[in-house]
Structure 1
Amino acid sequence: MADRSNRAREATTGPTIFAEADNLRRYRELNPTYKDRHLMVESQDSATSPPSSDSTTPDQSDGDGSPNESSDTSVEIHDFAHKEFKEISTVAVKKIEHDIAGGRETVVTKLFQSSAKTTKRRPRFKDVKFKPNTTILEAEASRTSVFAGFYTVFWLGTFILFAKTVLGNYRNSGYFLDTHIVSLLWRDLPKIAITDLVLFLLTFANVALQQAVVKKKVSWDSTGWAVQSCYEVAFIGLALWWPMYNDYPWIGRVFLCLHSLVLLMKQHSYAFFCGYLSVVKRDLALYESAFEGLRIKSEDGRRTPSQFQTEQEERLLDEIAMCHTELKSSLPMSKVVYPNNVTFFNFFDYMMLPTLVYELEYPRTESIRWDYVFEKIAAIFGVFFLMIIIAEQYFYPVVMHALSLRSLPFLEKVKEYPFLFFELLFPFLLMYLLTWYIIWDAILNEIAELTHFADRYFYGAWWNSVQWDQFAREWNVPVHLFLLRHVYHGSISAFQVSKGAATVITFLLSSVIHELVMFVIFKKLRGYLLVLQMCQLPLVQLSKTKFLKGNMVFGNIMFWIGIYTGPSMMCMLYLTF
């Protein structure tokens, strides 16, 4: 019956009027304020005007007895008029016509200049999806895996090494623990804490800028992004210069460097995400003004819509629908819509979460498991104490010996280098694994539990990597997601580069940042880490050749050789040469 009704309406009013009616209904679903305006106009008309002779009569009903919907819809389409709103929309249409005549390109004129359907707006920041997740080591599949015993063996062996080291120290010196590393940790600790707090408080300047953008005091795509970029350069410059200027110990310097980089990435993601949404909201207003302007009747009576006009309306509706999608959270049942998120509380909440990628809303847990919280606190302090023991017993003597070689001739240092390199192989591997565990499993899970953050996918099964790009994706997932959105996809959309070029840009930026950390630690610029990390790119291409692509065991062996030798090699190069 509905199909016959639609065919009858289309035959009576013509396909163009029928399409325009569908456009109007679709627009009403997207823009509730349009319904309010139209209802207001209808109520005013019914109160001041007598019944029209064009109103529906029983003779105008469809075959099933229902009123002829096309007549009602046509009245709604062509009688859409409210004096103030009509003037606004008429000005909008005239402005569009003026822009087209003058060759000025806007988001609306791009749609109006072609009768063919244009490509729909592509969401820029929909490349990262958050969902409830658990870390691999805590997943039920890992606990019941046939390899679960190796996890127990690792921690048991680590504890035995710890006990042997502590008892050996007590036997030789009468003390369980030397204090060289501990004294470095305590040195200037209050100053370091205050510096870190000041850097954190400076990040709230981002909210002030975004509120200015929302109030249209600043335009994001003209000056806002430039102000933000200058602020970010000044922020990281201050974070690196101040510890050097005050001669903080290297542990304090590297902590402030790494934490300031985390704060920088979080700020960048917040600012450029909200800035982009401000542009989307502005485009949405233009699209809606253009659509509503097309619906105004002409001076000499009701206009008859053309096919070109209805196609314009369809294209505008596609853009309006996409804008509405981008301006709200992607989570189901969420009511968070830009710019309601631009508040200091929302920014503080985001800064507390264990993620570097900003979204309007994240999946959350319902409650805090306090037994889990205390378990992770115990893991953090236990592993941290173990790292101090390893650093005191195995790193400190070798590092002191390496520093004593700096005054020797180059060839003498070369002769001594292999012995120092092999002395640190196993201690560095163990320290590498413990550093990964304490940050990406213990600390991030602790923060996630306290903040109700449900997506715990902080790392993948990187230990099974057969290619270096796989390791880069799975070793540190929060940083990978940031680089994916704001560097890889950002360079493709902003500079129109190829995927290969975007990959090179991403690796280069990551390498430069790692080299910057080495500069903060050793206070000298050598470029060893930058060069070796960039060498991962040809190694990735080599691993994709026919000979190596299917050889998973060989690929994993080569990966672990790199993990085993890389840290020790880097440390000795920076210390000795």
Structure 2
Amino acid sequence: MTYALHGLSDQRPRMGSEDSWTPEASSTVSEDDHASALKPEGTGAHTDKSRSTTAVSSDGGSIDVAYAGAFEKNNARRKSVQVVIEKSGKKGRYILTADDPEFREIIKSGIEREAEKLSGKSRNRIRDLVFTRQFTTFDRQNPRGSQSPFHGFFTLFWLAMALSVVKIAAQNYKSFGSVFGRAEILHLMVDRDLVVMLATDGLMCLSTVLCLYLQKVIAKEYLNWDRSGWIIQSLWEIFFTVTVIWVSFYREWSWTHTVFIVMHDFVLLMKQHSYAFYNGYLSRVSRRRKLLQQKLEQLEDLKAQDSSVPTSPVGQTTSTANLVELGHEGLTHRRRSFGPKYSTNLHKEHSEIASMAKAIEAGEPLDAEQIEAFHRVLTTEITILEEELRGKCTTTGKCYPKNLTFYNFAEWTCLPTLVYELEYPRLERINWWYVAEKSAATLGVIWIMIIISQAYLYPVVIEIVHQKEAGMSLEQRWREFPWAVFDMLFPLLLEQLLAWYVIWECLLNVLAEVTKFADRGFYGDWWNSVSWDQYARDWNRPVHSFLLRHVYHSSISAFHLTKMQATFGTFLLSAIVHEVLMFCLFKKVRGYLFALQLSQIPLAAMSRTKLMRGKDTLGNVIFWFGLFIGPSLITSLYLIV
């Protein structure tokens, strides 16, 4: 089974180095028409040469568990590096690309250091993530996948699924006279409240537009994001989530309806949060730029004092002579010393730029040299703030606040990512044959999941429910617990794998193609995980990127937590969300999934001990054992107790 799920990947599992997040690498070259269709909007020719990846940090942080010794095996000098030679647009010139994990890690680290050096990012700014074009591992457009030596196991896996469905259909026909059997699960999905559930989902999507209008009000400075804006947004997010959960309880929906509506609620919640807090941050940058522009205008109205007249002591603090010599580029490199990008209260701010603003506002005497230095600093600061508002945009039409349009918000709602940016790498056109292929795969896999659930899971669950309804004591039900675990062991593992495949490989690729979204790094090779923290990073990249920016780094900047505290807080939030989903499904709080989610922290720490270090096969066995027995164990506990 592991080989079958390894599928099209021929890479060894990679571990991120300390304080970094290892991206999934994939080829940007396709043998079909998508090779020419890919065109990143915001990165230009430089990005066209990139062969990796999604959500690469530009400031070097991550949900951080140290990975000491992850590359110990490769410390020796490399004898060779695999390279790919591609033709460029110019005659006689070629692009040489190294498709090597370690080489990419070196390049990524260099890019991060250079980006930090040029922009002077501080701990308090919004986490910057880099999106580049790539394909998912199991996508037929991915050359690395189609050339994998494990391609045959992938074919075998789906052939086994097809034969299993045929076998179940034959048994149903023999027992019930129909290939569909009794189809109780299908009736659960369509017989009651299907239209009501879909209408609720539509209203849920429409209600998210409140975030857009809130940001418009903030952009026009009727509200301040620092004061009331973020409070209104947070209260709305709480109301939004609680209302949807209440509706699912009030309508007494089946588990199929509940899973869909609650999970979509969480997706829209994360999208709203990312949209609001990123634009809220940009509103602070915009207000600061406007404030500094006013100070610059005041400075231009000042007249230089004679050198014999005592001037402002700020000149000595800011080393005006040196600032004049540095020029614009030098000042850009010195960006960090002038002040944060988001502060709008210069009276409480302790920075060089605040001192200059106070001197200008107070009308302190300034000589010509000081005025020139102040002018250079303010101009450079305003330029940097304008670059922050422009982000990765290649045109000014999408810069803040021009991005606050209904079209932009609707497009963002449909994009298969949970981290808001002003611009993403996009395709030039849509391949509708590809959309049809992935849509058919989505429906086909869902149908297989229904058949497997009906044949192997529904009878076990119904038997346990009947035992509880018959008044069987907890002690008697505990005797059935081991058998329930064993009965659901293989079916639940298979359902988990198919559910992951239909969402992260099929559905997200459909959304990506329809929206021309080029970065398909929705997952990494999590099946090769040697620790649970690696699995947490790789199996669901969109959620990982969201947690990285809006939970981990935000908690460090807002609450001044340590990296370990922020890591624990991130896992704690994830555990709470998973337990809420179990509460909606089983209508009771037990905390089993909550406890197992938090147990990933000590398990990740154990994987870094001397006992486990360097033992990748053992780590992968432990990982698969947990993934194998976990779903069955948890489901049995919630059903029986």
Query: Normalising by structure 1, what TM-score?
Result: 0.77
Unaligned regions of 5+ residues in structure 1, if any? 1-118
Contact residue 270 and residue 418 of structure 2 kept, 8 A: yes
The aligned runs of 1:119-518 (5 Å cut-off) are 124-138=125-139, 139-177=142-180, 178-186=182-190, 187-298=192-303, 305=367, 312-332=374-394, 335-406=397-468, 407-518=471-582
What is the SS of the residue equivalent to 1:548?
coil
CA distance change for structure 1 residues 120 and 528 in 2, over 3 Å: closer, same or farther? closer
What is the SS of the residue equivalent to 2:588?
coil
What is the SS of the residue equivalent to 2:426?
coil
Cα distance between partner residues in 2 of 1:355 and 1:494: 24
Contact residue 173 and residue 179 of structure 2 kept, 8 A: yes
* 2:609 pairs with 1:545: yes
What is the SS of the residue equivalent to 2:390?
coil
Cα distance between partner residues in 2 of 1:286 and 1:232: 31
Cα distance between partner residues in 2 of 1:528 and 1:565: 14
Superimposed CA distance per residue, residues 490-522 of structure 1 (whole angstroms, 9 cap, x where no aligned partner)? 101111101111110100000000000001111
What is the SS of the residue equivalent to 1:286?
helix
How many pairs were matched up? Answer: 460
What is the SS of the residue equivalent to 1:517?
helix
How far off is 1:296 after superposition?
3.1
Letter of the 1:208 partner, please give it.
Y
Contact residue 465 and residue 559 of structure 1 kept, 8 A: yes
Cα distance between partner residues in 2 of 1:206 and 1:334: 22
How far off is 1:298 after superposition?
2.4
Cα distance between partner residues in 1 of 2:519 and 2:451: 33
Unaligned regions of 5+ residues in structure 2, if any? 1-119, 308-364
How far off is 1:336 after superposition?
2.2
Cα distance between partner residues in 2 of 1:266 and 1:275: 14
Letter of the 1:282 partner, please give it.
R
CA distance change for structure 1 residues 121 and 477 in 2, over 3 Å: closer, same or farther? closer
How far off is 1:299 after superposition?
8.0
Cα distance between partner residues in 2 of 1:315 and 1:405: 76
The aligned runs of 1:529-544 (5 Å cut-off) are 529-544=593-608
How far off is 1:318 after superposition?
4.6
Superimposed CA distance per residue, residues 324-362 of structure 1 (whole angstroms, 9 cap, x where no aligned partner)? 121013155675210000111110111011111111111
Letter of the 1:561 partner, please give it.
F
Cα distance between partner residues in 2 of 1:285 and 1:331: 20
Q: Which segment is superposed worse, 558-567 or 128-137?
A: 128-137
Letter of the 2:637 partner, please give it.
L
Q: Which has the higher contact order (CA 8 A, sep 6+)?
A: 2
Query: Normalising by structure 2, what TM-score?
Result: 0.69
Contact residue 468 and residue 540 of structure 1 kept, 8 A: yes
How far off is 1:208 after superposition?
1.1
How far off is 1:211 after superposition?
0.9
Cα distance between partner residues in 2 of 1:358 and 1:200: 17
Letter of the 1:219 partner, please give it.
N
Contact residue 133 and residue 454 of structure 1 kept, 8 A: yes
Q: Which segment is superposed worse, 545-554 or 246-255?
A: 246-255
Cα distance between partner residues in 2 of 1:408 and 1:284: 69
Superimposed CA distance per residue, residues 408-458 of structure 1 (whole angstroms, 9 cap, x where no aligned partner)? 233222221011101111111110110000000000001111111111111
Letter of the 1:231 partner, please give it.
W
Contact residue 165 and residue 448 of structure 2 kept, 8 A: yes
CA distance change for structure 1 residues 561 and 300 in 2, over 3 Å: closer, same or farther? closer
Cα distance between partner residues in 2 of 1:519 and 1:245: 14
What is the SS of the residue equivalent to 2:582?
helix
Cα distance between partner residues in 2 of 1:561 and 1:522: 25
Cα distance between partner residues in 1 of 2:202 and 2:306: 67
How far off is 1:288 after superposition?
2.4
Contact residue 184 and residue 251 of structure 1 kept, 8 A: yes
How far off is 1:271 after superposition?
0.7
Superimposed CA distance per residue, residues 47-99 of structure 1 (whole angstroms, 9 cap, x where no aligned partner)? xxxxxxxxxxxxxxxxxxxxxxxxxxxxxxxxxxxxxxxxxxxxxxxxxxxxx
Q: Give the number of the structure whose residues are more often helix, by fraction.
A: 1
What is the SS of the residue equivalent to 1:358?
coil
